[in-house]
Amino acid sequence: MSAAANVRPMDTQGDIERYTFRERVMHWLTGLTYLYCLATGLAFYTPHLFWLATVLGGGPTSRFWHPIVGIVFLMGTMWMNSLWHRDMEITETDKVWMDRIESYITNHDNLVPPQDRFNAGQKLFYWLMLYGALLLLLSGFFLWLPEYIPRQAAWIRGTMVLVHEISALATIGGFLIHVYMGVFLEPGSMRAITTGYVSRAWARTLHRLWYQRITGSAPTEE
Amino acid sequence: MSNGPLQIKAISGHAGPVPGRDTSRDYDVCKLIDVTTCIGCKACEVACLEWNGYPFRPTVFDNTYQTMPDTAWNYYNLIRFNEHVADDGTLSWLMRKDQCMHCAEPGCLMACPADGAIVQYSNGIVDFQQEHCIGCQYCVTGCPFNIPKFNSETKKVHKCTLCSDRVGAGLEPACIKACPTGCLHFGSKDDMKELAGARVRQLHEHTSHKNAGLYDPVGVGGTHVMYVLHDIEHPELYGGLPKDPQIPWTVRIWKGPLKWLGDLAMVAGIVGLATHFIRFGPKRIEEDTKGETK
């Protein structure tokens, strides 16, 4: 942890800054570019959703922008990695959290170990998206410019489509859970990632170790 | 066919049978290419360009009689040339007219994600509709014959249409009309199979081509362009004609189980999350109660 993390600004109500301006910009850059690639990608994936490409400016337009926006998404992910990778390292506590994930899912948050800035679920989502983005870029490059793949290596095209789709589906699973939790499951999370601030109660309930670390308060009861 | 071309049934004062009386009037169409009588004159290449209104492309000399290395987005039709020395030392010039095979189960159509960009007519012609093409080139991935070609300026893919515009008006394709040796035939698939069968028997009985046969690969459900080859055991000698063409397994998985499993998983995921919300509701934040330190 960097020392700077220990001096978090607070607003007039005593709320704590959870995400800096830079982190919020980075989050929404990756989030919105992912959303665009998701919508256009789903249009190419299934005929039932091809209307998404029509809504977003037409099939050829979507085909043109999907890979370019995808590269911006990957750049955002790399930026995210530079800001968060230390916070995202899996620790021993995370393994205990994973063992008690059922309590977390059923909202018995008092039965899971106290978490630092990010809990194990957030960390898993982070690593899923990071490696997913790398796989999507690698395979997507071949889908972007297939005319440069010689006929003798035609098998690469088909294989890369499968890699692209399987990694996309994996990230979609994580993305659905992420959006559900941010928008519906955890009150205050949406405010955290838009304004940057969370209430002290929010921090204490969901990220007790982080709360104690940045406020300097002593561990109270387990 | 009520709207088919006029078919003569009886002729006044005519000695002998009515021409074409016993031919099949099935609505499907087929091009038969008898490579054993092709002389490689490339009249079909020129006719194709003229009918489709494309300029002639620069030729590339590669020490054979082939016009250029490959077909192109504005060059649908190419005679592939191979100078083949058999095991017994005899030399043969193998020439094959290469163009879209119009598969009964087209891999391009299976792979295409754009609504309406590839259609298959009931007469068997597989046709690209460039106004709906999004330029993704998945059709190139799906095709076992390396036929669809990309125009990088317009971002559209093109290929042989089997002259669907001519066939729709009751005419034969332009290449058929231009062939001087009669190695190109056009008609219903049944007729072409019968014609090919007769030619194959003739080759077996009267020539040394004991392996002569008809190329109508089952791996793609049969094709609406068929070849009579001297040696059906080695189609790859004819400029790389695949022996057992198949839609790539990756494309079959991608457009088959992976698609419906993925669709199902996404719907199930959304339903599952909604159910979770109804069952467990949002997480409760413990407002200032115990453990408030400052």
pLDDT score of B203: 96
Residues B220/B106, Cβ–Cβ less than 8 Å: yes
> Which positions of chain B have pLDDT values less than 70?
1-6, 22-26, 288-294
Q: Which residue has the tokens 């005419």?
A: B171
**In chain A, domain spans:** 19-215
- Architecture of the domain spanning B30-247: 2-Layer Sandwich (3.30)
Name chain B contacts of A158, Cβ cutoff 8 Å: 141, 248-251, 254
Residue of A nearest to B247 (CA): A158
- Measured CA to CA, the distance from residue A153 to residue B145 in angstroms comes to 14
pLDDT tens across the length of chain A (222 residues): 444 444 566 666 678 889 999 999 999 999 999 999 999 999 999 999 999 999 999 999 999 999 999 999 999 999 999 999 888 888 888 888 888 888 889 888 888 888 888 888 899 999 999 999 999 999 999 999 988 888 888 889 999 999 999 999 999 999 999 999 999 998 888 999 999 988 888 888 888 888 888 887 765 544
> Pairing mode, if any, of strands A16-17 and B184-187?
unpaired
Looking at the domain A19-215, which fold is it? Answer: Fumarate Reductase Cytochrome B subunit (1.20.950)
pLDDT of residue B217: 97
Tokens of B193: 């199979």
For CA atoms A146, A150, A153, A154, the dihedral sign is positive
Cβ atoms B175, B47 nearer than 8 A: yes
**Token pair recorded at residue A60:** 């050829």
CA distance B282 to A79: 31
Neighbours of B193 (CB within 10 A): 18
Interface membership of A191 toward B (CB under 8 Å): no
B285/A188 CB distance under 8 A: yes
Strands B149-151 and B213-215: unpaired
CB contact under 8 A, A158 and B141: yes
Per-residue pLDDT tens over the stretch B211-223: 999 999 999 999 9
Which tokens hold the place of A161?
A: 């489509």
B131 touching chain A per CB within 8 A: no
Q: Please report the pLDDT score of residue B87 as a whole number.
A: 86
pLDDT at A218: 60
**Distance (Å, whole) CA A173 – CA B84:** 55
Q: What is the pLDDT of residue B207?
A: 93
The span from the first CA to the last CA of chain B, in angstroms, equals: 90
* Cβ–Cβ gap A60/B293 under 8 Å: no
Residue B139, token pair as written in the block: 């059709």
Residue A166 with chain B: CB contacts under 8 Å = 258
Which residues of A, range 122-161, sit inside 8 Å of B by Cβ? 143, 146-147, 151, 154-155, 157-159, 161
3-state secondary structure of B167: helix
Per-residue confidence (pLDDT) for residue B275, from 0 to 100: 96
On chain A, the residues whose CB falls within 8 A of the CB of B152 are 147
On whether any CB of chain A is under 8 Å from the CB of B270, the answer is yes
DSSP B34: E
Q: Chain B partners of A173 at a C-beta cutoff of 8 Å? A: 265, 269
Determine phi and psi for B192, rounding to 5 degrees: -65, -35
pLDDT of residue B5: 62
- Quote the tokens at residue B248: 């790539």
CB atoms A205 and B285 under 8 Å? yes
pTM: 0.86
C-alpha to C-alpha distance for A90 and B258, rounded to whole angstroms: 31
Quote the pLDDT of residue A7: 54
Q: Is the CB of B134 less than 8 angstroms away from the CB of A166?
A: no
ipTM over 0.90: no
